[in-house]
Structure 1
């Protein structure tokens, strides 16, 4: 969607999609707006509760079945295990994606990792296709005036143009751009200090995996320390995503992470969006 400042102000039911790297403030803004009659749609929450719920539970049950005591209870249906993912705690999704590397160090073997990556990609695409229906339900069922769509940092990796077309058709796309080297390094350092599971484009993963193995004198992914590989690859992933996000941003508007960090209220957020529109126009 494209606007003038006046048409944006007159837009009665605002529908915004936030795009950007993890850590730029998407969830912070979404949580703030939830207090002001905005429906918060979390793509990762939808992935975990709808599209990966069964695979997550299968993985957990497979681990539980390795313990004789729990195996007996599960097979006799005397206990059950459920997914308890929360909007602000996506632990089950992260555990399912996992980190590539030595299983003895908590890593996931390459074949399983690639399969889980493919499942995650399909789940994220499906979660995006749910956005129009949740826009409708947010207003008609739950009575919210506005809609904020908080997408995960891997959206730019999906290589599915229909996903971006759908978001551009139904929402105001706002790209949050990291603009200076200091903040870029802060985001990278934060990610490296506590490595989390990540989604990679298949071509990117195989290319970077080959480079890492060569640099470290390893033959197989199963020999890698999962955290060491994740720390090593994150800056490369970060920089590979920037041109992909900038391409998507042509369908919407751009603000900087510095600008967004100054936002404290709904009014300030809307003023920032108007400034972004005015800059482009």
Structure 2
């Protein structure tokens, strides 16, 4: 949605979609807003508890069946297995996505990795389509007047314009941009603790060709999973920036991660959005130098 400052202030049941790379402050803002009577809709939490719950359980059960003791218990229905996924601990989701490479280092073969990537993409699209329903549920069932949609960093990778159109229709999209001076810090944090990631198929194919060539490897099974994840992250980061901006320019507003870091309460957050709206009213985001957006 697009607003004037006055219209945004008068919006009784606000819905804000936070867009940007992991680590820019989306979950920090969402947790703060929840303490201020906003419903925190976590896309990855919804994915793990609703759309990937069964595939995750199937993976866990398949591993358990390799152990004779657990295999017997499962086949006799003497034990059950369930996921425990928390908004601040998405471990089962990350474990399901996995990392590509040598199975001796817990890597996945390319076919299996690609299968899980496709399932994750499908689940993320479905989770975003649930947002309008949760806007109503948040208010009518749980009594929250406002909703913050904490989306995964891969939203820009889905290549499904209908998802963006849906979010733009039902929410204010706020893109949290990392200033050039801070990009290296975010990249270094990600490389220090490499986590499973979603990649567009075209991006992954090109990155694999370059990595194998650069490292003198012939097969995906030779890749050390964490080494590839560290190597590919800067490339992924820089490929996502123009995609985020292509969403924010026509559909939303842009703020800096530096400004987000200074938000301490709901009032700070609302003022941050109002400032972004006011800037857009003065000059369209597409006409501003990147450093001033």
- Coarse TM-score class (shorter-chain normalised): over 0.9
Q: How does 1:174-253 map to 2 (within 5 A)?
A: 174-181=174-181, 183-250=182-249, 251-253=251-253
Q: Tell me which stretches of 4 or more aligned residues in structure 1 moved more than 2 Å.
A: none
Deviation string for 1:183-230 (max 9, x for gaps)? 111110000001100000000001100110111111111110000000
What is the alpha-carbon distance in structure 2 between the residues aligned to residue 72 and residue 219 of structure 1?
Answer: 40
Q: 1:259 — aligned with what?
A: 259
What is the alpha-carbon distance in structure 1 between the residues aligned to residue 36 and residue 263 of structure 2?
Answer: 14
- Alpha-carbon deviation of 1:180? 2.5
- Alpha-carbon deviation of 1:179? 1.2
Question: Helix, strand or coil: the match of 1:235?
Answer: helix
What is the alpha-carbon distance in structure 2 between the residues aligned to residue 234 and residue 8 of structure 1?
Answer: 36
Deviation string for 1:122-147 (max 9, x for gaps)? 00000000000000100111111111
- Alpha-carbon deviation of 1:258? 0.6
Question: Helix, strand or coil: the match of 2:41?
Answer: strand
What is the alpha-carbon distance in structure 1 between the residues aligned to residue 205 and residue 31 of structure 2?
Answer: 36
Q: How does 1:1-281 map to 2 (within 5 A)?
A: 1-181=1-181, 183-250=182-249, 251-281=251-281
What is the alpha-carbon distance in structure 2 between the residues aligned to residue 73 and residue 34 of structure 1?
Answer: 41
Structure 2 portions without partners, runs of 5+? 282-293
CA RMSD of aligned residues (A): 0.5
What is the alpha-carbon distance in structure 2 between the residues aligned to residue 23 and residue 103 of structure 1?
Answer: 28
What is the alpha-carbon distance in structure 2 between the residues aligned to residue 175 and residue 266 of structure 1?
Answer: 17
Question: Helix, strand or coil: the match of 1:36?
Answer: coil
Question: Helix, strand or coil: the match of 1:154?
Answer: helix
What is the alpha-carbon distance in structure 1 between the residues aligned to residue 108 and residue 81 of structure 2?
Answer: 22
Q: 2:288 — aligned with what?
A: none
Structure 1 portions without partners, runs of 5+? none
Question: Helix, strand or coil: the match of 2:243?
Answer: helix
